[in-house]
Structure 1
């Protein structure tokens, strides 16, 4: 279904989704038009679901990264999931197996904001908190 060229195009788009098709084509040895057709096909078959922007949260003042494992008190998962989807400080969430029911990544400005978030989470269940010291990225 996907060949090496498709995978290389995806790799380039992961690094910079605003990269010009012509520039991608030069790297993968295709014309801009052929690259455009490949990308359109990847969109049509659902491999590419959309494009986004990566924001530097620290420059917005959200310097604390909290990793939170939540153990639900009840079976009301829909209410908790709705809370997570609408909580601005939660930047990533997963329903998990193993220890806990959910894993959340949150970004907050300060200890007070973190405490407020944790108090909200307590309405749904208990939590285990870890604070990130640094992020290891593949840049």
Structure 2
């Protein structure tokens, strides 16, 4: 399951969130710091809904989030 998770932190101190992300290398493909809607976007892959749920339970200790699930890849940009 391929997903993009927009992260919303409540604190200007992001160290604990970033430390959590570093422990999730098996799920997190990329971590982008962004401007606009949210603070970060995580690009992730999960083997199942259960793995996603466990990840989100841990993530919720550090930040709020909005998740978008990839349904289908439309094209590859070169």
Farther-moved stretch of structure 1 (90-99 vs 77-86) = 77-86
Q: Secondary structure at the match of 2:71?
A: coil
Aligned length: 76
Q: Secondary structure at the match of 2:72?
A: coil
Partner of 2:76: 137
Partner of 1:99: 37
Q: Which has the higher contact order (CA 8 A, sep 6+)?
A: 2
Larger Cα-atom Rg: 1
Normalising by structure 2, we get a TM-score of 0.87
Shift in Å at residue 82 of structure 1?
Answer: 1.8
Structure 1: runs of 5+ lacking an equivalent: 1-63
Structure 2: runs of 5+ lacking an equivalent: none
Bigger proportion of residues as strand: 2
Partner of 1:14: none
